[in-house]
């Protein structure tokens, strides 16, 4: 299994990305993030950030498709869903199987998006279970766009301040579509 990425990917030393995962330019994986494409593919667009302790996984055979400029907040979970460009999945929010989040949506901290829920472009979801409560404001849209860009800049800073061997250097010259092979885990049984 391998991670296929373009250039400028940052992976913190405690992040783990494995399986069938395709990653765009300038994507960042922060401390404790887990991205598991072991039962279905995961596609992540340019400049998306997967923050500390967030989890991206799939239902068997159901891929995760995450757009560009998406913010996946601290300890959030996206599980077998689609997330449109420029959306924000808030801290500890959960997006469950086969949900579809449109472009420019804000899923509030702690919200739970039910399996199969469709969220149109530019909407805010809050609550447990999550409900569409209103449209995103212009200020929220600007903030979400800024946040995606900000995490690319933060990654450049973090990449220059650590010498851990798993941190991918930020040199901007990586070969497009380069593949990193992850070592196989030791056998569970003899």
Tell me, what CATH number does 44's domain have? 2.160.10.10
Instruction: Say how many domains are in the chain.
Output: 1
Query: What are the backbone dihedrals phi and psi of residue 187, each rounded to the nearest 5 degrees, phi first?
Result: -60, 140
What pLDDT is recorded for position 179? 35
Is there a domain that residue 97 lies in?
yes
Q: Which domain does 137 fall in, by range?
A: 2-163
pTM of the shown model: 0.83
- Say if residue 158's pLDDT is above 90: no
pLDDT digits (tens, 9 = 90+) for 36-55: 999 999 999 999 999 999 99
Alpha-carbon distance of 147 to 139, in angstroms, equals: 12
- Least reliable range by pLDDT among 17-31, 35-49, 125-139, 166-180: 166-180
Average pLDDT over residues 123-138: 96
190 part of a folded domain = no
The pLDDT of residue 167 is above 60: no
């Amino acid at each position: 299994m391998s991670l296929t990425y373009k250039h400028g990917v940052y992976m913190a030393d405690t992040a783990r990305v494995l399986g069938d995962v395709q990653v765009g330019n300038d994507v960042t994986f922060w401390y404790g993030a887990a991205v598991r494409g072991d039962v279905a593919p995961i596609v992540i667009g340019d400049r998306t950030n997967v923050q500390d302790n967030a989890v991206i996984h799939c239902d068997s055979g159901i891929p995760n498709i995450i757009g560009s400029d998406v913010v996946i907040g601290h300890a959030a979970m996206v599980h077998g869903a689609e997330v449109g460009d420029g959306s924000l999945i808030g801290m500890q929010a959960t997006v469950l199987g086969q949900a579809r989040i449109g472009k420019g949506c804000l899923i509030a901290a702690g919200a739970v998006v039910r399996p199969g829920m469709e969220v149109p472009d530019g909407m805010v979801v809050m609550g447990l279970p999550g409900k569409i409560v209103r449209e995103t404001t212009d200020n929220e849209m600007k903030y979400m766009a800024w946040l995606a860009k900000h995490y690319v800049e933060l990654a450049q800073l973090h990449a220059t301040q650590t010498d851990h061997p798993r941190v991918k250097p930020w040199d901007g010259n990586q070969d497009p579509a380069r593949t990193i092979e992850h070592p196989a885990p030791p056998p569970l049984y003899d």
